[in-house]
């Protein structure tokens, strides 16, 4: 009887200790995480604006100056894809915590939205395939090699003349697709860790 009570007491102490270990974030730590997330959101937002603007300018430049119609169509498709993804992805009003929003709720929503954003981009990556196909039909790498005055006997010219540039682009898209899937999985793990850390 005494052994049973002692065993139950030890189990209760152990459970209490495990619950205490799960509470790893104090209020000031959550506030610091919120400030860090807000700074990261601001940096990421403007970095994306800069990169997307540079890509858009490059695509529009190719659309207006490229003589080959297939390549122009492929670049226009890529520009449209970029505008679609960027226009539906960037939300300027969700980067900062609301006045009446708790730190935990803000971080929870951030992790959830981050995971959803990665999955949205992952699904839309394959919409670039027509642009790649149109550029391939138009001979984009070969045209670029000729415009740069590459020696026709050089290995780089032969590389551009074959299917290798498009195989490389396709492999890159697969890697990016996998990377966004891993990033979405990490966002989900971060969310679960946050929920475990603040629960009793």
Per the CB < 8 A criterion, the answer to whether 177 and 122 are in contact is yes
132 or 87, which is more confident: 132
User: What DSSP assignment string belongs to 46-90?
Assistant: HHHHHHHHHHHHHHHHHHHH---HHHHHHHHHHHHHHHHHHHHH-
Distance CA 126, CA 2 (A): 67
181 or 166, which is more confident: 181
Mean residue pLDDT of the chain comes to 78
183 confidence band (pLDDT: 50, 70, 90): very high
- Digit-coded pLDDT (tens) for 126-151: 998 898 888 887 777 777 777 777 77
The CA distances from residue 26 to 8, 141, 156, in Å, are: 30, 55, 58
How many of the other CB atoms lie within 10 Å of CB of 167?
Answer: 10
Is the pTM higher than 0.75? The answer reads no
180 confidence band (pLDDT: 50, 70, 90): very high
Distance CA 78, CA 73 (A): 9
191 or 151, which is more confident: 191
- Digit-coded pLDDT (tens) for 94-109: 566 665 677 778 888 8
166 confidence band (pLDDT: 50, 70, 90): confident
5 confidence band (pLDDT: 50, 70, 90): very low
- Digit-coded pLDDT (tens) for 20-32: 444 456 667 777 8
Joined tokens for residue 180: 């966004």
Distance CA 29, CA 41 (A): 18
Per the CB < 8 A criterion, the answer to whether 37 and 96 are in contact is no
């Amino acid at each position: 009887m005494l052994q049973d009570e002692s065993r139950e007491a030890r189990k209760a102490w152990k459970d209490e200790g495990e619950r205490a270990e799960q509470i790893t974030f104090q209020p000031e730590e959550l506030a610091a995480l919120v400030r860090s997330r807000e700074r990261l959101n601001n940096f990421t937002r403007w970095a994306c604006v800069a990169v997307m603007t540079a890509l858009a300018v490059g695509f529009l430049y190719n659309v207006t100056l490229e003589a080959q119609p297939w390549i122009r169509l492929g670049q226009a498709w890529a520009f449209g894809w970029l505008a679609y993804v960027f226009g539906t992805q960037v939300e300027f009003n969700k980067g900062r915590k609301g006045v009446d929003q708790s730190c935990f709720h803000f971080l929870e929503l951030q992790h959830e939205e981050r995971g959803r954003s990665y999955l949205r981009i992952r699904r839309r990556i394959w919409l670039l395939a027509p642009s790649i196909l149109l550029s391939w039909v138009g001979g984009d790498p070969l045209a670029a090699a000729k415009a740069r005055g590459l020696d026709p006997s050089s290995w780089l010219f032969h590389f551009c003349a074959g299917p290798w540039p498009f195989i490389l682009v396709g492999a890159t898209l697969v890697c990016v697709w996998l990377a966004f899937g891993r990033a979405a999985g990490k966002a989900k793990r971060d969310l679960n860790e946050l929920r475990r850390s603040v629960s009793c």
